[in-house]
Structure 1
Amino acid sequence: MNREEALRLVKEQITEQRYQHTLGVMETSIILAKRYGADPKKAELAAIFHDYAKFRPKDEMKEIILSQKMAEDLLIYNSELWHAPVGAYLVEKEAGITDPEILDAIRYHTSGRVKMTLLDKIVFLADYIEPGRAFPGVDAVRETTKEHLDLAVIETLRNTIFFLMKRNQAVYPDTFHTYNDLILKFKEKME
């Protein structure tokens, strides 16, 4: 699928503000893919579709989570997580994208996962640092991203976990597991 067709499909599903965010994630993903040796076309497509289900009704997302036997524990946690796995499902069904690497990058762009692929990390980070984002800590992660992808993902996860804890919100277990997986691998490399 080419860029124009993908953007047209996505634009029908999201708000104009979210579309501008998507363009920022797309451009950032391409830059990161080129910097770190991932496939820029896959990064572009995953980024374009990463928020495809963001504005689907919660009842529809809940039904898809249950009917497709996705991790039911998602329903216990903040519904902001739902659009990622539901989006991967809908992108395959409605847009015909079948590449498992692209679908996984969409599926895990909010929570992360143990043993994240390079493409997973790129879309995860691009969503966090795209130029339209402005919140405490984002500039530091942008700087780290220039030199070290894994360390930037670790910083992003740490910032996210702290943000949720400060708001007395539950942290999805996969996010903790992702942080632990990456920090242990990072420490191992440093020894």
Structure 2
Amino acid sequence: MDIENLKTDLKERLTEARYEHTLRVTDTAINLAETFHGPVEKAKIAALFHDYCKYDSLEEMKKIIETNSKLPNLLLSFHHELWHGPVASVQIEERYTVTDQEIKDAIFFHTTGRANMTMLDKIIFLADYIEPGRSFPGLDEVRAAAKTDLTKACYQAARNTVHFLMEKNRTVYPDSFHAYNDLNQQVFGGIINE
């Protein structure tokens, strides 16, 4: 894959701020992959593509979700902010012939997470959350954990996200709950009764 051509395409598709975010996510993903002995090249590609469809029209994304059998129609029942990752996961195959399922899954689930996340899923999910341009409550704790424990940092990010959505009385996509529960079990080793 020609990374420079992809960056040129991204510059045209994204706002300047979103393009800069994408570069920071990519740098963070590479760093996480190197730290935790993950797939560095796959992390770079998935990170570059993670917001590829961020500014596609809602009508276009809706049509793709409705007509592509690889995408669950359930997405349409939730906030459109969740659509761009799944849509990008199918668009990059059509436009760039990216067929690596691990890369496509990491892009698909980068906003919600999911149960049984792969290392690449975790890297992209976390890189998007902790990239240096972000600033919100609870972020420092996640960044600190990300230096030594990828799964714990992902758990903290999932917990914070679910909590934030519940505090705002927003619906929570099922994969986000599944990610939280699965990561909780990985970190704490099972059911905790206190």
Q: TM-score, normalised by structure 1?
A: 0.96
Partner SS for 2:98: coil
One-letter code of the match for 1:61?
M
Q: Deviations over 1:54-83 (max 9, x none)?
A: 000001111101100311111111110000
Q: Which whole-Å CA distance do the structure 2 matches of 1:78 and 1:138 have between them?
A: 23
What does residue range 1-191 of structure 1 map to in structure 2 within 5 Å? 1-69=1-69, 70-188=71-189
Q: Is the 8 A contact 2:25 2:127 kept in 1?
A: yes
Residues 88 and 107, structure 1, Cα contact 8 Å, conserved in 2: yes
CA distance in 2, matches of 1:177, 1:33: 23
* Identity in percent: 48
| Contact 2:146–2:153 (CA under 8 A) maintained in structure 1 | yes
* TM-score after normalising by structure 2: 0.94
Return the offset for 1:9. Answer: 2.0
Alpha carbon RMSD of aligned pairs, Å?
1.3
Report deviation, 1:119.
Answer: 0.4
* Pairwise CA distance, 1:103: 0.8
CA–CA separation in structure 2 for the residues paired with 1:32 and 1:109 = 15
Q: Which amino acid aligns with 1:149?
A: L
8 Å CA contact 2:113–2:176 kept in 1: the answer is: yes
- For 1:130 and 1:29, locate their aligned partners in 2 and report how far apart those are by CA, in whole Å: 9
Structure 2: distance between partners of 1:51 and 1:150: 23
Moved over 6 A (4+): none
Q: Tell me how far apart the structure 2 counterparts of residues 98 and 6 of structure 1 sit (CA, whole Å).
A: 16
Q: Which runs of 5+ in 1 are unaligned?
A: none
Greater shift in the superposed pair: 79-88 or 3-12: 3-12
Could you tell me which runs of 5 or more consecutive residues in structure 2 were left unpaired when the two chains were aligned.
none
Name the count of aligned residue pairs.
190
User: Which secondary structure state, in structure 2, belongs to the residue aligned with residue 105 of structure 1?
Assistant: helix
